[in-house]
Amino acid sequence: MINNLFRKALLLVPAAALALPAVAQADEAKTFVRDGVKYTYTKTEEKGATVLSGTADNRAFRLVVKDGVVTGNFGYQPVTFTTAEAKGSSLAMR
């Protein structure tokens, strides 16, 4: 299970990506640093879903955002949370 701080940090990626306009192709890689962790990701649209693929803290992730739910993997850990959780995260709001 992912610890709470790590999970909150992971919420930053969908929160940041959802604020950007959707495109049909992959965007250029986006990068930001939060609490000393560098996040790099690309955003694509596939079958009506937004797909975020990248790395953070030397771990690969792939997140699929569809119908208000984020599912996927961070490292080898499966993750599931709502976009409301990502947008409402106190870390994402800072």
d(CA 93, CA 72): 23
d(CA 94, CA 78): 26
Q: Which residues contact 44 (CB under 8 A, 6 or more apart)?
A: 25, 26, 27, 50, 51, 53
pLDDT of residue 49 exceeding 90:
yes
Q: Name the residue with higher pLDDT: 60 or 3.
A: 60
The arithmetic mean of pLDDT across residues 43-51, rounded, is: 90
